[in-house]
Structure 1
Amino acid sequence: METWVLITIAAAFLQNVRSAMQKHLKGVMGTTGATFVRFGFGLPFALLYLALLWQAGHALPVPDGTFLLWATIGGMAQIAATFLLVHLFSFRNFAVGTAYSRTEPAQAALFGLLFLGEKASSGAVVAIAISVVGVMLISVARTTLSIRSLVTSVFSRTAGIGLLSGTLFGLSAVSYRSASLALAPSLPAPDYLMQAGFTLGFVILLQTLAMLAWIVLREPHELGRIRRAWMPAALVGFVGASASFGWFSAMTLQQAAMVKVVAQVEMLFTFAASFFVFREWITRLELIGSLLIVLGVVMLLVP
Structure 2
Amino acid sequence: MSLWILVTLAAAAMQTVRFMLQKQLKGAGLSTGGATFARFIFAAPLAALVASLALAVSGEAFPPLTARFWTFALVGGVGQIVATLATVALFSLRNFAVGIAFTKTETVQVAAFSALILGEAVSLWGWSAIGVGFAGVLLLSRASEGGLRFDPKATALGLLAGGFFGISAIGYRGATLELMPLGFFLRAVLTLACVTASQTVMMAVWLRLRQPGEAGRVVRTWRKTALVGLTGMLGSLGWFTAFSLQNAALVRAVGQVEIVFTLVASALVFRERLHLREAAGIALVVTSLLMIVLALG
| Same fold, judged at TM 0.5 (above) | yes
* Residue identity matched to 1:90: S
Instruction: For residue 58 of structure 1, report the CA deviation from its aligned partner.
Output: 5.7
Q: Distance in 1 between the 2:71 and 2:11 partners?
A: 25
Q: Deviation string for 1:233-285 (max 9, x for gaps)?
A: 11111100010011111122222122112121111111111111111111233
Q: Distance in 1 between the 2:117 and 2:185 partners?
A: 23
* Residue identity matched to 1:256: A
The within-5 A match list for 1:76-115 is 76-115=78-117
Match of 1:244 among 236, 243, 262: 236
1:37 is the counterpart of 2:38: yes
Match of 2:76 among 57, 74, 77: 74
Structure 2 unpaired stretches of 5+: none
Name the stretch that deviates more: 51-60 or 288-297. Answer: 288-297
Specify whether residues 86 and 66 from structure 1 end up closer, same or farther in structure 2 by C-alpha distance, changes over 3 A only: same
Counterpart in the other structure of 1:230: 222
Specify whether residues 298 and 168 from structure 1 end up closer, same or farther in structure 2 by C-alpha distance, changes over 3 A only: closer
* Residue identity matched to 2:154: T
Match of 1:213 among 198, 205, 208: 205
The within-5 A match list for 1:130-169 is 130-140=132-142, 142=144, 144=146, 148-149=148-149, 152-153=150-151, 156-169=152-165
* Residue identity matched to 1:140: R
* Residue identity matched to 1:174: I
Specify whether residues 64 and 277 from structure 1 end up closer, same or farther in structure 2 by C-alpha distance, changes over 3 A only: same
Aligned residues of 2:107 and 2:289 also touching (Cα < 8 A):
no
Name the stretch that deviates more: 161-170 or 234-243. Answer: 161-170
| 1:173 counterpart SS class | helix
Q: Normalising by the residue count of structure 2, what TM-score does the alignment of the two structures yield?
A: 0.90
Name the stretch that deviates more: 260-269 or 10-19. Answer: 260-269
Instruction: For residue 300 of structure 1, report the CA deviation from its aligned partner.
Output: 4.6
Structure 1 unpaired stretches of 5+: none
Instruction: For residue 218 of structure 1, report the CA deviation from its aligned partner.
Output: 2.8
Aligned-residue CA RMSD in angstroms? 2.1
Aligned residues of 1:58 and 1:194 also touching (Cα < 8 A):
no
Instruction: For residue 119 of structure 1, report the CA deviation from its aligned partner.
Output: 1.7
* Residue identity matched to 1:29: L
Aligned residues of 1:265 and 1:293 also touching (Cα < 8 A):
no
1:172 is the counterpart of 2:168: yes
| 1:56 counterpart SS class | helix
Counterpart in the other structure of 2:16: 16
Aligned residues of 2:104 and 2:285 also touching (Cα < 8 A):
no
* Residue identity matched to 2:43: G
* Residue identity matched to 1:45: L
Q: Normalising by the residue count of structure 1, what TM-score does the alignment of the two structures yield?
A: 0.89
Q: Distance in 1 between the 2:56 and 2:275 partners?
A: 50
Aligned residues of 2:108 and 2:133 also touching (Cα < 8 A):
no
Q: Distance in 2 between the 1:110 and 1:162 partners?
A: 17
Specify whether residues 106 and 299 from structure 1 end up closer, same or farther in structure 2 by C-alpha distance, changes over 3 A only: closer
Structure 1 segments of 4+ aligned residues over 6 angstroms from their partners: none
